Amino acid sequence: MSGTDIAFFLLALAAIAGGVTMLQLTNVVHMVVALVMTFLGIAGLYVLLSAEFVAVVQVLIYSGAITIIMLFAIMLTRHHRDEKERQTTGGVWHKAVAAISVIAFGLAVYFGIRRLDFGADGSALAGDNVKTIGKLLYSYYTIPFEIVSVILLVALIGAIVLAKKDGKEAGDK
C-alpha cells in the first residue's frame, strides 16, 4: 500500500466520521464542527486527485463561508434550552446500528474497490490547472461569474430582511 492509498483512506475516514458524527450530535454548534471536519476531509481528497483549485474552493467556500452562514443562522433563530424540548439520538441501540452500518458500508466499498479494474492509465493532467481555470473564469465566463455573485448577494440581503421581519413579529406579540 502506497502513501497515497493511506492518505486516501485516512481522509475518507475523516470525511465519513465527520458526517456520521454530525448525525449523532444534538448540539447544533457541535454539528457544524463535525460538518467542517467532513468538508476538510473532502478537500484533502481533492488534493489527492490533483485538483488543487477545487480543494481551495472547498476550504474557502464550504469550510469557511457556509459554516459562518450556518452559525449566523443559529444565532438569528431562537433556540430553547429546556430539557424537555431536547431531542435524543436514539440511545445505545441507535448508535450501535449506525456504527455497524458504517463499518459494513466501508467493507463493501473496500472489497468493491479491490476487485475493480481501472484499465490503462489516463492522460496526464495539465501542470497548471489553476492558471487555466483562472483564465477561463475571468475571460470566457466573466458574465456568468458576476451574475452568480449578484444572485448570492440578493439571497443574503433577502435572508437578512426575513430574519428582521421575524424579529419584529416576535417583539410585537
Instruction: For 86-144, write each residue's pLDDT tens digit.
Output: 555 567 887 888 889 888 988 888 888 787 776 666 566 666 777 888 888 888 888 98
Q: Which residues of 18-46 are buried (b: 16+ CB within 10 A; e: fewer)?
A: bbbbbebeeeeeebbebbbbbbbbbbbbb
Q: Which is more confident, 169 or 60?
A: 60
| Owner of C-alpha cell 501542470 | 127
Instruction: Read off φ and ψ for residue 64, nearest 5 degrees.
Output: -95, -70
Report pLDDT for 15.
92
Residue 78 pLDDT class (50, 70, 90 cuts)? low
Report pLDDT for 160.
83
Query: Grid coordinates representing 108?
Result: 463493501
Whether 24 shows a pLDDT value over 50: the answer reads yes
Q: What CA–CA distance (Å, rounded) separates 111 from 15?
A: 19
